[in-house]
Homo-oligomer: A and B are copies of this chain.
Amino acid sequence: MAEKEQRIQPRTLKGFNDYLPEQALRRQVVQERLRHVFERWGYQPLETPTLEYADVLLGRYGAEAEKLIYRFTDNGGRDVALRYDQTVPFARVVAQYGEKLARPFRRYQFQRVWRGENTGRGREREFTQCDVDVAGAASPVVDAETLVIAAEGYRAIGFPRVQVLVNDRTLFDDLGISKEEVISIDKLDKIGAEGVIRELVERGREEAAATDLLSRLQSAEPPARLKDVLAMAEDFGMPEGVLQFEPTLARGLEYYTSTILEVRSPDYTAGSIGGGGRYDALIRRFTGRDVPAVGFSFGLERVIEALEAVGAFSGMRAAPAAVAIALGRAQLRWAGDVAARLRAAGVSVAMATDPDGGAGKQLGAAGKLGARYALLVGESEAAAQQVALKDLESGQQETLGLDEVVQRLTATVP
């Protein structure tokens, strides 16, 4: 039967990744730590669907961004699209459920998003955002809170020091800079001052005016509201030296209206490791009335890449602590009992799968699995309700009672 079937090559799409256990564990640990920070600040979980009606997403991100949206017609003829970020779905939720939601509505959301990008370092087509957003509060208090949460989040997952760059989009309006020009200024890091000036000239400025504009922008003071926000962030415990006003910071997405922020790490040079801002007009596009909102997004894959570079995950392993080895079918029950006792005490124990395979073979398999300990249960151990505990690192073995084994393993296993 199998001979006749066509063999399918096992492979994944470019920009779409498998996360094998060690990697998946890191993703889990980082998300768990972020989640605890967000929950402590009173943020609540939200999940939205993978697919949305396309019109819910379109007209939100800017023309360049929207070319990257995965969009198709489903079997029922509906024009649908894969989530591009979590901010627009959040805005939809706020508009859709209104009174059912807390006011202000603080939520966190950890889901995947899809963008048909050219792939590259830190740029995948499927990636995971860990977001915090607040809707329904125009107060600078929530901008400040967002800054502090971002900084606390990075600290919680193991960044000894990050830089939080902050700006206010209204600064561009105050200097008479158009939306298109903002897009050019956003490229300052990539194309340099000369490149930005060249683009501003292409967009219609005189060269002298463009040069002057960029220099005025670079030496601008924070707008009054941003000054307030920065002071409040200090009130809320922002560590010193983390915040940095950056008047040329622009952020690509079109929906930002006021505070914008971006986080960088000296340990990650391929771009920012998170960003966000205030988007007071986005929800209005669903409701027709203003609902101010502000939020921040941690890029999970980039964060993990940066953390790996500083060795933040060393010693973290997905393998079970021990393997329970029955030496013969009749010993399966006692091996099962030993394993159950250890599991109840919080130790991970896998069962060896070949009770008639002999001790050597089963020990070899346990070692390959990456387990630290083998729990050998032969006839005599079962009869005496004991277990031979073998340390697969040192090779040492000793026979212990059940309580002793539990004590030993709970003491040595993290």
Chain B residues near A75 (CB, 8 Å)? 70, 116
Q: Is the CB of B13 within 8 A of A48?
A: no
Q: Quick one: which of B13, B24, B320, B336 contacts A51, CB cutoff 8 A?
A: B13
Chain B residues near A95 (CB, 8 Å)? 10
Known: A56-B10, A351-B145. A46 touches B74 (CB 8 A): no
Chain B residues near A332 (CB, 8 Å)? 141, 232, 235-236
Cα(A139)–Cα(B329), bound, Å: 12
Known: A20-B100, A97-B20, A100-B20. A47 touches B74 (CB 8 A): no
Q: Is the CB of A28 within 8 A of B56?
A: no
Q: Quick one: which of B28, B72, B370 contacts A72, CB cutoff 8 A?
A: B72
Chain B residues near A41 (CB, 8 Å)? 343, 348-351
Chain B residues near A93 (CB, 8 Å)? 10, 18, 20
> 1/0 per residue A336-358: CB within 8 Å of B?
11011001001111111111000
Q: Determine the residue in chain B with the shortest Cβ distance to A354.
A: B139
Q: Is the CB of B285 within 8 A of A2?
A: yes
Asked whether A112 is an interface residue with its Cβ less than 8 Å from the other chain, the reply is: yes
Q: Is the CB of B25 within 8 A of A47?
A: no
Q: Is the CB of A5 within 8 A of B285?
A: yes
CB distance from A354 to the nearest CB of B (A): 6
CB distance from A124 to the nearest CB of B (A): 10
Asked whether A96 is an interface residue with its Cβ less than 8 Å from the other chain, the reply is: yes
Q: State which residues 349-387 of A face B: CB under 8 Å.
A: 349-355, 365, 368-371
Q: State which residues 70-113 of A face B: CB under 8 Å.
A: 70, 72-76, 78, 80, 82, 92-93, 95-97, 100-104, 106-107, 112
Q: Is the CB of B28 within 8 A of A45?
A: yes
Cα(A27)–Cα(B2), bound, Å: 40
Cα(A48)–Cα(B350), bound, Å: 23
Give chain A's interface residues, CB within 8 Å of chain B: 1-2, 5, 7-13, 16-21, 24-25, 27-28, 39-42, 44-53, 55-56, 59, 70, 72-76, 78, 80, 82, 92-93, 95-97, 100-104, 106-107, 112, 114, 116, 126, 137, 139, 141-142, 145, 232, 235-237, 281, 284-288, 318-320, 323, 332-333, 336-337, 339-340, 343, 346-355, 365, 368-371
Q: A13-B80, A42-B350 are in contact. List 12 more A-B contacts (CB 8 A).
A: A7-B287, A10-B96, A12-B48, A20-B46, A24-B44, A40-B348, A42-B371, A44-B319, A50-B114, A72-B72, A235-B333, A237-B337
